[in-house]
Amino acid sequence: MQFTNLGRSGLSVSRLCLGTMNFGPLTSEADSHAIMDSAHEHGINFFDTANVYGLRSAGVSGLGEGRGYTEAIIGRWFAKGGGRRERTVLATKVYGAMVDWPNEGKLSALNIRRALDASLTRLQTDYIDLYQFHHIDRDTPWDEIWQALEVAITAGKILYVGSSNFAGWHIAQAQAAAGQRNLTGLVSEQSLYNLYTRDIELEVIPAAQHYGVGIIPWSPLEGGLLGGVLRKQRDGKRRLEGRAAEALEAKRSQIEAYEDFAAELGHEPGDVALAWLLHQPAVTAPIIGPRNQQQLDDAVRALDVHLDDSALARLDEIFPGYKTAPEHYAW
């Protein structure tokens, strides 16, 4: 396994981050525990979850038990001992409401305190390595947010703070407010980023690089579109519906060119997609969200894929990216 620092921090994390959103809704607790054990065997020490994970999505059959269930699965895994907690850099998130009642969501000082304590209880731990804002809260001032985090950091409940789904100017705003309190501020930003969806190259990545914030891409395979979807359809192993099917039809020629190029390189399409992210200088660790052991083993292969300059240029031709703003659209 390869390791790197999380943003400008001294925290060492694996170049792949184990996403746990499927644990509970689609993957049983026993299988989830086995996947986490295997992740440690592969050298993956960076696990990501959220307080709201565990609720089965509408229209999707599965095992869902409700919000918070995924954290509880992880907590029972930690409780098995054997150094599981000590070997894990644990990231969770706050923002989403757990129940339908005032002050049960977003980033008020009250919700941060309650949500953090509830996550600690479910996770059966006394601290969170990386506590992430799941979304920007436009209703709560940064002074209040950072004061609440400062209390939690002083109490030893939180070590590092990250964001998710922030715009570039949100990162700048957060860092300015943290600096006024002599706090470290954000060390990571979790964003939608992959070969297919590259919008954050305009402003989020430049802001992250300026402030020393590591990018943690979610949905690195764009919901499966970059994972060999056309071949899987031909083999009868994958059937897309709704928005995913519409997206495939809109970009079918690009997906075809991409899968053909991956075959030329001698790699699986999903491995190339993950490897491309690992070649981006702003990226700390893409989040992989395996539903089973095989998907975890497949994802680890990407660490051995090297893309030279010509391969990276060809991928840019297939899926054009963005220059840094404002040069992308102005001078």
Whose tokens are 């099917």? That residue is 245
Residue type, 149: L
Alpha-carbon span 225 to 319, nearest angstrom: 13
pTM for the whole structure? 0.94
Clarify whether 131 is annotated catalytic. no
Q: Is CATH 3.90.1150.10 what the domain over 3-223+273-307 is classified as, yes or no?
A: no
Reading the chain (331 residues) residue by residue, the pLDDT tens digits are 999 999 999 999 999 999 999 999 999 999 999 999 999 999 999 999 999 999 876 566 667 678 999 999 999 999 999 999 999 999 999 999 998 899 999 999 999 999 999 999 999 999 999 999 999 999 999 999 999 999 999 999 999 999 999 999 999 999 999 999 999 999 999 999 999 999 999 999 999 999 999 999 999 999 889 999 888 888 776 666 666 778 888 889 999 999 999 999 999 999 999 999 999 999 999 999 999 999 999 999 999 999 999 999 999 999 999 999 999 999 9
Q: CA-CA distances (angstroms) from residue 279 to 185, 229, 274?
A: 26, 23, 9
Catalytic residue among 53, 131, 160, 193: 53
Alpha-carbon span 275 to 286, nearest angstrom: 9
DSSP 8-state code for residue 196: S
Q: Where are the domains of the chain?
A: 3-223+273-307
DSSP 8-state code for residue 55: P
Handedness of CA 273, 9, 5, 42 (dihedral sign): negative
